């Protein structure tokens, strides 16, 4: 079994992309995400048996679910974005967060140009100034606040339920519930779980 720390390091080393979550006029909201090509190269060294699976659950906006298996651990991520590429990056960022890499939160608003995309130059510079990693590799993101084991457990229960809903052909209905995420508090996560259970039973 590959060392989970090596997998986390592979995820950190590949955090060079930005996922656009939404666009409002000349502004876009972005979050840091692993670059898929870089991640593949790093994971090959960390765990040759790693795998990744994708599903697109909705369009307009795109909603993507990813399942990443590495280091003997499987994590699912859910992301949405204005393009399929952005939704995939957002889902990958979500999965990386569950491995303990990256941060949650609402992201950063930056200038947006329809031809050039979001201007993340200042964000890239900020990440590079924290001294956590030398250029050209991006700096490691700030540490996450202490994780709540109960929230992690609730999230795993939701992910298991999502798999059951997919098997039952009800992932479209589940996606509408999950557009707002998995919940920021234990109570919100429990409410989302109950909604998903109702869909499965219905």
Domains of the chain by residue range: 4-145, 146-202
Residue carrying the six token digits 């779980």:
193
Res 88: pLDDT: 94
Q: Which residues of 161-188 are buried (b: 16+ CB within 10 A; e: fewer)?
A: bbeebeeeebbebbbebbeeebbeeeee
Secondary structure of residue 78 in the 3-state scheme: strand
Res 3: pLDDT: 78
Q: What is the pLDDT along the chain (202 residues), one digit of tens a residue?
A: 457 889 999 999 999 999 999 998 899 999 999 998 999 999 998 888 899 999 988 887 899 999 999 988 889 999 999 999 999 999 999 999 988 888 666 788 999 998 889 999 888 765 543 323 233 333 333 344 556 778 878 888 888 888 888 888 887 777 777 766 777 788 888 888 898 899 888 8
Beta bridge partners of 112: 118
In angstroms, the Cα distances linking 41 to 38, 57, 162 are: 5, 27, 29
- Residue 32: how many CA atoms within 13 Å on its side-chain side? 25
194, containing H or E segment: helix 186-201
Rounded to whole angstroms, how far apart are CA atoms 100 and 140?
Answer: 12
Q: Checking phi first, is residue 85 left (phi over 0); if not, alpha (psi -120 to 50) or beta?
A: alpha
Res 32: pLDDT: 93
Rounded to whole angstroms, how far apart are CA atoms 138 and 132?
Answer: 8
Kindly indicate whether the domain formed by 4-145 is annotated with CATH number 3.30.160.20.
yes
Secondary structure of residue 110 in the 3-state scheme: strand
Res 132: pLDDT: 30
Res 2: pLDDT: 53
Res 91: pLDDT: 93
Res 125: pLDDT: 65
């Amino acid at each position: 079994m590959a060392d989970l720390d090596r997998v986390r390091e592979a995820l950190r080393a590949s955090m060079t992309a930005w996922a656009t979550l939404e666009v409002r006029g000349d502004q876009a909201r972005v979050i840091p995400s692993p670059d898929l090509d870089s991640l593949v190269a790093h994971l090959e060294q960390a765990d040759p048996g790693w795998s990744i699976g994708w599903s697109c659950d909705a369009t307009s906006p795109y909603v993507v679910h990813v399942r990443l298996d590495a280091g003997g651990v499987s994590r699912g991520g859910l992301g949405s974005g204005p393009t399929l590429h952005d939704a995939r990056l957002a889902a990958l960022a979500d999965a990386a967060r569950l491995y303990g890499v990256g941060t949650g939160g609402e992201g950063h608003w930056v200038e947006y140009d329809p031809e050039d995309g979001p201007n993340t130059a200042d964000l890239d510079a900020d990440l590079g100034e924290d001294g956590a990693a030398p250029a050209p590799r991006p700096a490691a993101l700030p540490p996450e606040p202490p994780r709540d084991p109960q929230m992690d457990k609730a999230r795993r229960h939701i992910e298991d339920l999502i798999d059951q809903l997919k098997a039952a052909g009800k992932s479209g209905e589940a996606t509408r519930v999950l557009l707002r995420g998995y919940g920021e508090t234990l109570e919100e996560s429990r409410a989302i779980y109950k909604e998903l259970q109702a869909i499965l039973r219905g």
